[in-house]
Structure 1
Amino acid sequence: MSVINFNIAQWRAWAPGLESVDDWQAWSRQPVVLADNDAAPDVSFLPAMQRRRLSRLARMAFSVGWPLADGRQDLPLVFISRHGETPRTVDILTDLAHDQPLSPTQFSLSVHNAIIGLWSIMRGETSEMTALAAAGDGLEHGMLEAAALLNEGEPAVLLVITEERPPQAYSSWIDDVPFAYALGLLITPGNDWQLSLNSPGNMLSKPRWPHALSLLPALLGQQTTCQHAWNDRVWTWQRNL
C-alpha cells in the first residue's frame, strides 16, 4: 500500500448548468446525467483575442484553474485529460479524408499539451507543467504527480482535470464521459487529505461516474471517504476532519 498526504486549499468545478457550490451540492445529492449541449463556461477574464484561440475543453480548464491561480506566481500545473482535444482531431482527420489542406494552427492546438502551452503564454507562467493522458484513474495519477512536486518543495500545485463528450464518430469507443466537466484543485502540503492505493480483494464493478465527479461529495463535506476503482487498482480518498 502507498499513501500520500496533502491539503486541498481550494477547488472549483464546472459542467453544463453547474457552476456554484450550491449547484454542485444539489447535483451530488441526486447525481444525474446532464443534457450536454455546446454550452461553455465564461472566460471573459481573458482578452477577446486570447479567448478566440481556446477550444471548449480549454475554456473549461481555464474557467476552473484561472481563479485558483489568482495572485499566485510560479504555480506548477498538472493537467489531466484522458481524451483531450478529440473534436479538433476529428476535424483534422475529416480534412485529410477530403484531401483538404491542413491547418498548422489547428494541428498545434490539438496536441495533448496544447492547453498547458496556452496557459503558460497567457499567464506568463514558466513554472513546471505536466499534461497527463491516463486511463480512468487519471485524477489519482495527477495527484501522485502533484504530491511529487510538493515533496520537492513547491508550496502549492494546481491540478486540473477535464473531459468533454466525444464526437459521434468516437461514441462506440469512448463511454466514460457522461457529460462535459472540469475540476480544479489547489493542492498544498498538509494532512487534511490522504490518498492510498490498494489491490482489490475481489472483482470490482465499473464506476458509475468519472473519478473527478465521484470525489465531489467529499469535497463538499457530505462524506469523509470515497473509493475509486480502476482495473486492478483501488484508490481510497480520506478526508481527516
Structure 2
Amino acid sequence: MSVINFNIAQWRAWAPGLESVDDWQAWCRQPVAPTCSDAAPDVSFLPAMQRRRLSRLARMAFSVGWPLADGRQDLPLVFISRHGETPRTFEILSDLAADQPLSPTQFSLSVHNAVIGLWSIMRGETSEMTALAAAGDGLEHGMLEAAALLSEGAPAVLLVVTEEQPPQAYSAWIDDVPFPYAVGLLLTAGNDWQLSLSNNPQQLPKTHWPHALNLLRTLLGQQSTCQHAWKNRVWTWQRNP
C-alpha cells in the first residue's frame, strides 16, 4: 500500500448553474445533473483578446484555478483531463472528412497541454506544469504528481481537473461526463488528508457522478472517507481527525 499526506488549503468548482459554495453545498446534499448545459464560466478577469481564444474547457480551468492562484508566485500546476478538447478535435476531424482546410490555431489549441501553455502565457508563470490524461483515475495520478512537487519543496501546488461534455458522436464510448465540470484544489504539505492505494480485485460499485465531484461531496460533507476504484486499483481518500 502506498500513502501520501497533504492539506487541501482551498478549493473551487464550476459546472453549469453551480458556481458558489452554497450552490455546491446544495448539490452535494441532492446531486442532480444541471439543465443549463450550454452555460460557460465567467472569465471577465482576463482581457477580451485573451478570452476569445479559450474554449469552454479552458474557461472552466481558468475560472477555478485563477482565484486560487491569486497573489501566489511560482505556483506549480497539475492539469488533469481524461478526454481533453473533444469538441475542438471533433471539429478538426469533421473538417478533414469534408476536405476543408484546417485551422492552425484550432489545432494548436486542441492538444492536451494547450491549457497549461495558455495559463503560463497569461499569468507569466514559469513554474513546473504538467498536463495528464490518465484514464479513469487521473485525479489520483495528479495527486501523486502534486505530492512529488510538495516533497521537492514547493510551498503549494494547484491541481485542476476538468472535463467537457463530448460531442454526441462520442456518446457510445464516453459515458463518464454527465455534464461539464471543473474542480480546483490548492494543495499544501500537511496531514489533514491521506490518499492510499491498494490492489483489490473486488470491484467497488460504480458511482453515478464523476470521481472529482464525489470527492467534493466528501470535502463538503460529514464523511471522512471517499473511495475510487479503477481496474485493479482502489484509491482511498481519508480525512484525518
Which band: TM-score by shorter chain? Answer: over 0.9
Which amino acid is the alignment partner of residue 39 of structure 1?
A
Task: Give aligned-pair identity as a percent.
Answer: 85
Higher deviation after alignment, 225-234 or 151-160: 225-234
Query: What does residue 146 of structure 2 align with?
Result: 146
Q: Secondary structure of the residue that 1:131 maps to in structure 2?
A: strand
* 1:36 Cα deviation from its structure 2 partner: 4.9
* 1:149 Cα deviation from its structure 2 partner: 0.5
Structure 1 runs of 4+ aligned residues shifted over 6 Å read none
Q: How does 1:49-198 map to 2 (within 5 A)?
A: 49-198=49-198
2-side partners of 1:234 and 1:79: how far apart?
22
Residues 169-212 of structure 1: per-residue CA shift (max 9 Å, x gap): 11110000011000000000000000001122523332221110
Higher deviation after alignment, 35-44 or 109-118: 35-44
Count how many residue pairs are aligned between Structure 1 and Structure 2. 241
Which amino acid is the alignment partner of residue 117 of structure 2?
G
* 1:144 Cα deviation from its structure 2 partner: 0.4
* 1:223 Cα deviation from its structure 2 partner: 1.4
Q: Secondary structure of the residue that 2:135 maps to in structure 1?
A: coil
Q: Retained in 1: the 8 A contact 2:201–2:232?
A: no
* 1:136 Cα deviation from its structure 2 partner: 1.3
Q: Retained in 1: the 8 A contact 2:203–2:229?
A: no
2-side partners of 1:133 and 1:203: how far apart?
22
Q: Retained in 1: the 8 A contact 2:176–2:210?
A: yes
2-side partners of 1:187 and 1:15: how far apart?
21
* 1:33 Cα deviation from its structure 2 partner: 2.0
Residues 41-76 of structure 1: per-residue CA shift (max 9 Å, x gap): 000000000000100000000000000000000100
- Structure 2 unaligned blocks of 5 or more: none
2-side partners of 1:36 and 1:85: how far apart?
20
- Structure 1 unaligned blocks of 5 or more: none
Residues 218-237 of structure 1: per-residue CA shift (max 9 Å, x gap): 21142111111111111111
Q: Retained in 2: the 8 A contact 1:197–1:234?
A: yes
Q: How does 1:228-239 map to 2 (within 5 A)?
A: 228-239=228-239
Q: Retained in 1: the 8 A contact 2:158–2:185?
A: yes
